[in-house]
Amino acid sequence: MTALPYLPWRKPILESGPLRLTSRRLYLLPTRSGLLFGLLLLGLLVGAINYGVSLVYLFTFWFVSLGVVGMLHTQRNLTGLILHGGATAPVFAGENALFHLRVENPSRLPRQRIGLRHAQGQGEPGDIPAAAEAVIDLPLPQTERGWKTPGRFAIHSEFPLGLFRCWSVLELDWGVLVYPRPAAEGMPPPASDDGDEEASAARREGLEFDGLRDYQPGDATRRIAWKASARGGDKLLTKQFASATGQHLWLSWWQTPERDVEGRLSRLTRWVLDAHAAGLAYGLKLPGRVLPPRTGAAHLRQCLEALARHVSNTS
Amino acid sequence: MIIPLLLVLAPHAPHLPLWISLAWLGCALLRLHGAQTGRQPVGRVLKMLLTLAGVAGVLLQYGTLIGPAGGVALLAFLSGAKLLETPTPRDRLGLLFVGCFLLVAHFLDRQNLATAGYMAFAALALVAGMIATQSPASTAWRPPLALAARLMAQALPLALLIFLLFPRLQGTLWGLPQQVAAQTGLSDQMSPGDISQLILSDELAFRAEFSGAEPTPQQLYWRGPVLWDYDGHTWRTATPLRAAMPEATGNGQPLRYSLTLEPHRQRWLLLLGLPTRLPELPGNPTVLGADLQWRAREPINQRLRYGIEAYLDYQLEPALSPTLRARALALPVGGNPRARELAQSWLDHATNDTARDAAIVNQALTLFRAQPFFYTLNPPRLGESAVDDFLFTSRRGFCEHYASAFVFLMRAAGVPARVVTGYQGGERNPLGNYLIVRGRDAHAWAEVWLAGRGWLRVDPTAAVAPARVEHGVSAALPTAERPGNLATGAWLRPLGLGWDLINNQWNQWVIGYDPARQQQFLARLNPLLADWRSRVWALGLGATLLVVGVAAALWPRQTVIQSDPASREYQRFCRALARLGLPRGAAEAAEDYARRALARRPDLGNEIKRITRLYLASRYGPAGYQRGAAAADDSLRDLKNAVAAFRPGRRPAAKLGVSEPT
C-alpha cells in the first residue's frame, strides 16, 4: 500500500483548519482497470474498422464517451468538499489510531464512496449526503509511543465507474498520542519499593490482610508468607494487603524488572492500567517526574501521557 | 454481476455449442450457491482443470481461439469459469469488460433495430454492474441502474458526434471470416416452384427511393439474374456473358434512384433500366454483362446501398452477334414435341419476314390470353415434358411457368429469347416516400430479340393476370391462395409501414453509415467537412466543446445552506437585534456582541444572555460535537424555543425607566 502520488512541485504543505478541495489540488488518472478498459476500446475500434460494422463503431464510441463522462463524474465527486481534521483518541502502541476527517459537502450533490489512503493503511470509503457532513475514518497502525503525526495522506474516490481515480494529497496538522504498549499481564507491581519502612508505614495506615498470591521477583521479603509457603510445597507465596480507605501504591521506574527504557515504560503502563482497574490510588515515579498517588480517569490519562511522552536523557 | 453477463450472453447462446451454455449456467449456479454458503464453490485444482478442459473444448470445436466465432465461445466459457472464484473488485470490472466485448460481438451477425435496443439495455446493465462494483456491500440495484442510465444519456451526444465525424476507413485490416449462411431471395437458376416459394416470404428484398417522379407499376421491372440455358427442367446461366458495357442507347430523361439491397449472400445485383454509369461498390468490384446482368465478385453479405442514374426507355443490342443468337435459340434435344409443333406452325404461317418475329410473339401472348390459363401458386406437378404438360394439360402456373414456356415457344419458333428474373412492383411507403420490395414481389419474365429493335421485354404473366403487374401478387392470386401475411387486416398496414420506415431510416443512417455515406452526408452538411483532415479538427473541437459543456452542467453548485441548525437559530436572533439598530459586527464574537447589546438594552439582558449561552453550548459545547446525541438535541431545542420567544419591543419597557445611553 502506497500513498497516492503527487506532483513534486506541488508538494503538500502542513495545513490546518477547513480545507476546500478545488480542482486545482485534485489529481485525476485512470486506474489499472481504466487502462484495461482503454485497451478494450482500442480493440473494439480495430474490430469496427476491420469488419466495417456501424453498430460496433457506435457502441465503441458510446463506451468511450461513457469513460469520459465517468471521468467528469469522478472528479466532481470530490470537488468542493470542505475538510476538517478531527481530534484523535489516544491509543496504545500496537493498536490502530483512528483519525477522523470531518468532510462537509456544501453542494446539493450527494458524494459517494470517498476514502482515505495513507502509506500505512486505508479507511473504508464513506458517503456524504447533499448539504451535510460525514466523518471518514483512517485507521493507522501505531507502533511507537509518543506524539505521532500521520504526515501525508490522500483523499480519493473512484466513483462511479472505477475507471478513473481522483485524489488530493494533504497533510493536516493532526496527531495522536500513542501510549506505550502495555507489557504482558501476570506480574503485579511490587508491593513495596523502599523496604521495611514503607511496608510498616502502610500497615500503620490500616492495611488489612487480603490474601496470598504467587511470589514475584521484587516482592519485599517481609511480605513473603513463610508459613503458608512451607505448607503449600515448592512455591513461595506473598501476602497481599488491601485497604478499605485506598492504598497508596507507588509505581516506580526503578522497580521494574526490565532494564531497557521502552521495557520499563511498557511495564509501568501495564501497572498503571492494572492499578486503575483495581481502583487503587497510585503514584508514578519517573526520572525527572513524580506524579503523586491519586485515583480517577484524569489521573490515568495524566500518567499514561507522562509515560508516552517520557524523554530519556540517560541510556 | 451475473445478470448483465447473462443478458449479454443469452443472445449468443443459439450460436454457441450447448456445452458452453450449460457450463456457464452451472458455474453461475455454483457461484450463487457459494455466495449463500460463503464457501468457495470448487477447489483451485479443479477450477484449473475445468478451465483447461473448456479451452481445449473450444479449440476442438472451432479449431481456433481467435476470430469472431471461436473468440466469442472462448470468452463466454472463461467468463463462466471466472465466476467460480470469489472475485476482487478489479476482477469484477474485468468480467464486465469481457461482457462489453461480447456485447459488441453481436453486431457482427445482426444489426437490426431490435438487437441494438436490446444491446443498449444490456450495456445499461453492464454499466450498472460497474457502478455496483464500487459498493460491494450494497445489494440495492435501483440506484446503480438509475445512475447508469444518467451516465449513458450524458455520454450519448458525444458518442453520436464521434460516430458522425470519426473518419471511416475503407477496407479491412485482416480477412473477413467466412460466413456460412443460407442464401435468400432469387437464385441464379430457376426451376418450376422456385419463385412460388419466394412469394410466400414476407422477407424484405430491398428498398428503393426515387429522386424524381416514381415510375408506373408497369415500368417497375427490377432486373436480376438473366437466364440463358435450359435443360428441359431448369433455367440457368452456365457461363455469364463477357463483362462489357452493353451496346445500348437510352432515350429521354434518365431516372435517378437509390436502392438499399438486403444481404442475400449471392452475387447478383438489381437494376432498373439501363444505367448511365455503374456505381462502385466498396471493396467489391462489379461487372455488367452484355445482357444487362449486373454481378459482383463477392457475395453480398452486408446491406448495400447504391445510387443509379438510368434510362427506363432504352434499346438494347440492336445487332445480335451470331454466337449470342445461337445461344438465345438453343433448346435441349428432344422433349416437348407438342410445343415445338405449335411453334413450327406459327413459323409456317408467318408471312412477312421483317414483322414475322413480332407476329409470333403476339401469337404466343394471344395463346395465353385466349386459352383458359390460370395464375396460381399451387400448380399440379409437371411431367417429363414440362412445357407440353403446362401448355396443353394443366394450364395452371405461376410466373416462372409462363416465362419458361414462353421462351421455349419463342426459341422453338426461331425467335431469340431469354428468361429474366428479378422483382416486379413493390409497396410504396407513403410515410417515407420510398418503395418496399419483398420476396413476394419476385418475378420472372421474358425478353425476345427483334431485328431492328433489340431485346424487348415481354411479360407473359401480364397476359394471363394483368393485376399481377398493376397491383401486385396478392391482387392477382385467387383469394383462397393469398398467403396469410398478404391477407392481413388493413388496420395493421399503417403500423407495418411506420415500422418499416423506422427500419429504413435506421438502415440508412446507422447501419449504412459507411465511408461513402459519411462523405456524402458531411459534404452536404458543410463543404469544409469533405476533407478528412478538417473532419478530425471538427471532431476535436466538437468533442472538446461537448465535454466542457457536460462538465459545466455537471459541476457541483455551491448552495448557501447553513448546515448547522444552531447557527441558523442564532442568525435569526441576530436579525431580530439588528432590527433594533444593533447589527452584529462582521467579525464580532458572540460574547462580545452580547455584552454590547446588553449595554444598549439592559431590559433584554436575561434573554440575550440565555440565547448566547445556549448557542455557544450547542455549537461549541462538548455535546455539540456529537450530532444526534440527546444532550445536543436538548440544548438545540432550548435554543430554538428561546429564539422563537425573543420578541423585543422597539423601545425599552417604560416602567423600568432605563434611558438609552447616548
- Give DSSP secondary structure letters for B155-177: HHHHHHHHHHHSPP--S-SSPPP
Q: Of A207-211, A281-285, B354-358, B510-514, which gets the smallest average pLDDT?
A: A207-211
Q: Residue B562 — pLDDT band, cuts 50, 70, 90?
A: low
The domain ranges of chain A are 8-178, 196-308
Is 90 exceeded by the pLDDT of residue B530? no
Q: Are A28 and A47 in contact (CB under 8 A)?
A: no
Distance between B574 CA and the closest CA of chain A, angstroms: 23
Residue B661 confidence class, pLDDT cut points 50, 70, 90: very low
In sequence order, which residues have a C-beta less than 8 Å from that of residue A10 and are 6 or more positions away? A25
Is A57 within 8 Å of B166 when comparing Cβ atoms? yes
Which grid cell is B332? 435441349
pLDDT at B26 over 70: yes
State which residue of chain B sits closest to A59, comparing Cα positions.
Answer: B104
- Give the residue with greater pLDDT, B243 vs B64: B64
CB contact under 8 A, A65 and B557: no
Helix (H, G, I), strand (E, B), or coil: what is residue B237?
Answer: coil
CA distances from B436 to B222, B305, B433, B547 (A): 12, 14, 10, 41
CA-to-CA distance for A228 and A237, rounded, in angstroms?
7
- For the record, the C-alpha cell of B535 comes out as 473532419
Among the partner-chain residues A44, A68, A109, the one whose CB lies closest to the CB of B556 is A109
User: A241 falls in which pLDDT band (50, 70, 90)?
Assistant: low
SS (H, E, C) A176-233: EEEECCCCCCCCCCCCCCCCHHHHHHHHHCCCEEEEEEECCCCCCHHHECHHHHHHHC
**Residue with the larger pLDDT of the pair B392 and A239:** B392
For the segment B186-206, the average pLDDT, to the nearest whole number, is 75
Nearest Cα to B176, choosing from B263, B302, B267, B62? B302
Angle at CA of residue B654, ends B649 and B658, nearest 5°: 100
The whole-number average pLDDT for the span A229-257 is 72
Q: What is the DSSP string of B248-314?
A: EEEESPPEEEEEEEPP-SSSB--B-SEESSPPPPTT--EEEBTTS-EEESS---S-EEEEEEEESEE
User: Given a cut of 80, is residue A215 above it in pLDDT?
Assistant: no
Q: What's the 3-state SS for B57-112?
A: HHHHHHCCCCCHHHHHHHHHHHHHHHCCCCCCHHHHHHHHHHHHHHHHHHHHCCCC
- What pLDDT, on a 0 to 100 scale, did the predictor assign at position B652? 64
* DSSP symbols for B315-384: EE-SS--HHHHHHTT---SS--HHHHHHHHHHHHH---STTHHHHHHHHHHHHHHHTT-EE-S-PPPP-S
Checking if the pLDDT of B625 tops 80, the result is no
pLDDT of residue A211: 67
CA distance B484 to chain A (A): 34
Contact call for residues B464 and B369 (beta carbons, < 8 A): yes
Confidence check: pLDDT of B156 > 90: yes
A-chain residues within 8 Å CB-CB of B119?
55, 59
CB A248 within 8 A of CB A283: yes
pLDDT tens digits, one per residue of B298-322 = 888 878 888 899 998 898 888 888 8
Cα–Cα distance for residue pair A199/A207, rounded to 1 Å:
10
How is A83-98 classified by DSSP, letter by letter? EEEPP---EETTSEEE
Of B176 and B508, the structure prediction assigns the larger pLDDT to B508
- A59 close to B123: Cβ distance less than 8 angstroms: yes
What is the bridge-based pairing of β-strands A248-252 and B204-210? unpaired
Find, in chain A, the residue whose alpha carbon is nearest to that of B513: A54
Write the ipTM. 0.80
Residue-level pLDDT at B546: 92
Cα gap A250→A228, rounded to integer Å:
27
Q: Are B131 and A161 inside 8 Å of each other by CB?
A: yes
What is the C-alpha separation between B240 and B269, in angstroms, rounded? 14
pLDDT at site B528:
83
Q: Do A58 and B510 touch (CB under 8 A)?
A: yes
* Mean pLDDT of all residues in B215-224: 88
Nearest of B298, B301, B303, B302 to residue B287 by alpha carbon: B298
Identify the band that residue B529 occupies on the pLDDT scale cut at 50, 70 and 90: confident
Contacts of B160 in chain A (CB under 8 A): 61
Q: Could B111 and A55 be called an inter-chain contact, meaning their C-beta atoms sit closer than 8 Å?
A: yes
Contact A160 B151 (CB under 8 A): yes
What does the pLDDT read at residue B655? 44
Q: How far is A97 from chain B (nearest CA, A)?
A: 19
pLDDT of residue B177: 46
Between B134, B172, B551, which is nearest A162 by CB?
Answer: B134
Count helices and strands (H / E) in chain B: 23, 19
CA distance A102 to A236: 56
**8 A C-beta contact, residue B257 and residue B306:** no
Query: Stretch B611-626: mean pLDDT, rounded?
Result: 72
C-beta atoms of B172 and A51 within 8 A: yes
Q: Which of residues 513-552 of B touch A (CB under 8 A)?
A: 513-514, 547, 550-551
* B26/chain A closest Cα distance in angstroms: 27
- Give the one of A32, A63, A106 whose C-beta lies nearest to B558's C-beta: A106
**Average pLDDT of span B378-403:** 84
Based on its alpha-carbon atoms, the radius of gyration of chain A, rounded to whole angstroms, reads: 30
Q: Looking at the predicted structure, is the pLDDT value of residue A189 above 50?
A: yes
Q: What single-letter DSSP state applies at residue B243?
A: B
pLDDT at B179: 45
Residue identified by cell 445461344 is B327
Among A180-194, B359-373, B450-464, which stretch is predicted with the lowest mean pLDDT? Answer: A180-194
The residues of B annotated as belonging to the active site are 399, 443, 459
B62 in A contact zone (CB under 8 Å): no
Integer Cα distance of B344 and B350 in angstroms? 10
Q: What is the pLDDT of residues B255-287, one digit of tens each?
A: 999 998 888 888 889 999 899 888 888 778 888
CA atoms within 13 A on the CB side of A239: 15
Residue of B88, B91, B134, B517 for testing the chain A interface, max A β-carbons within 10 Å:
B134
Q: What's the pLDDT at B441? A: 85
By the 10 Å C-beta count (0-12 exposed, 13-18 middle, 19+ buried), A117 is classed as buried
- Cα distance between residue A69 and residue B148, in whole Å: 11
For residue B656, what pLDDT is reported?
A: 45
| Cross-chain residue pair A80–B176, CB shorter than 8 Å | no
- pLDDT over 60 (residue B657): no
Q: CB distance A54–B514 less than 8 Å?
A: yes
pLDDT tops 90 at residue B183: no
Q: What is the largest CA-CA distance in chain A?
A: 103
| Structural contact between residues A159 and A149, judged by C-beta atoms closer than 8 angstroms | no
Q: How confident is the model at residue A247 (pLDDT cuts 50, 70, 90)?
A: low
Residues in A closer than 8 angstroms to B558, CB to CB, are 80, 106-107
CA distances to B327, B408, B412, B632 from B336, in Å: 19, 9, 10, 110
- Weakest mean pLDDT among B234-248, B359-373, B520-534: B234-248
For residue A154, report the phi and psi dihedrals to the nearest 5 degrees: -125, 140
Look at the block and give the residue holding cell 445512475: B147
Instruction: Compare CB distances from B159 to A51, A58, A133 and report the shortest one's residue.
Output: A58
Is residue A51 a contact partner of residue B172, using CB atoms and an 8 Å limit?
yes
Q: How confident is the model at residue B571 (pLDDT cuts 50, 70, 90)?
A: confident
Check residues B108 and B419 and name the one with the higher pLDDT.
B419
* pLDDT of amino acid B658: 44
Q: Each residue of B229-257: b (16+ CB within 10 Å) or e?
A: bbeeeebbbeebbeeeebebebeeebbeb
Residue B173: pLDDT band by 50, 70, 90 thresholds?
A: low
Give the separation between CA A111 and CA A105, rounded to whole angstroms.
8
A50 with B512: Cβ contact below 8 A:
no
Q: And the C-alpha cell for A49?
A: 474498422
**What's chain B's average pLDDT?**
82
Phi first, then psi: give them for residue A127, nearest 5 degrees. Answer: -110, 150
Q: Does the reported pTM lie above 0.80? A: no
The lowest-confidence range among A2-6, B188-192, B485-489 is B485-489
Q: What is the pLDDT of residues A35-90, one digit of tens each?
A: 999 999 999 999 888 888 889 999 999 999 999 999 999 999 999 999 988 888 99
Average pLDDT over residues B629-639: 72
The answer to whether B114 touches B70, Cβ cutoff 8 Å, is no
Q: How many Å apart are CA B484 and CA B486, to the nearest integer?
A: 5
Selection from A228-242, B52-66, B538-552, B592-606 with the highest mean pLDDT: B538-552
Confidence class for position A220, pLDDT limits 50, 70, 90: low
Encode burial over B6-40: b for 16+ CB neighbours within 10 A, e otherwise. Answer: bbbbebbbeebbeebbebbeebbebbeebeeeeee
pLDDT value at residue B486: 47
A-chain CB neighbours of B513 within 8 Å are: 54, 57
Interface of B with A in 78-97 (CB under 8 A): 89-90, 93-94, 97
- Per-residue pLDDT tens over the stretch A154-181: 999 998 999 999 999 999 988 899 999 9
pLDDT at B38: 73
Burial B192-212 (b: 16+ CB within 10 A, else e): bebbbebbebeebbbbbbeee
What pLDDT, on the 0 to 100 scale, is given for residue B393? Answer: 87
**Chain B: closest CA distance from residue A61 (Å):** 5
What single-letter amino acid sits at B176?
L
* Cα–Cα distance measured from residue B288 to residue B278, given in angstroms and rounded to the nearest whole number: 8
pLDDT at residue number A218: 66
Lowest-pLDDT choice from A124-133, B7-16, B146-155, B234-243: B234-243
| Residue type (1 letter), B272 | L
Q: Do the Cβ atoms of B134 and A113 come within 8 Å?
A: yes
**For residue A14, is pLDDT > 90?**
no
Q: How far is residue A259 from each of residues A188, A254, A255, A263, measured CA to CA in Å?
A: 17, 9, 10, 7
E strand intervals along B101-254: 189-190, 204-210, 221-227, 229-230, 235-236, 248-251
Question: Scanning the structure block, which residue is given the C-alpha cell 470542505?
Answer: A82
**Ramachandran assignment for B255, one of left (phi > 0), alpha (psi -120 to 50 degrees), beta (any other):** beta
The pLDDT-based confidence of B563 (bands split at 50, 70, 90) is low
**Strand-pair category, A289-294 with B189-190:** unpaired
Per-residue pLDDT tens for B316-359? 888 888 888 888 998 888 888 999 999 998 888 877 677 888 88
The strand pairing partners of A251, in sequence order, are A284
What residue in A sits closest to B90 (Cα-Cα)? A33
Across the interface, whether the CB atoms of B162 and A64 are under 8 A apart is answered yes
With a CB-CB cutoff of 8 Å, which residues 501-520 of chain B face chain A?
A: 510-514
Which three-class secondary structure state does DSSP give residue A116?
strand
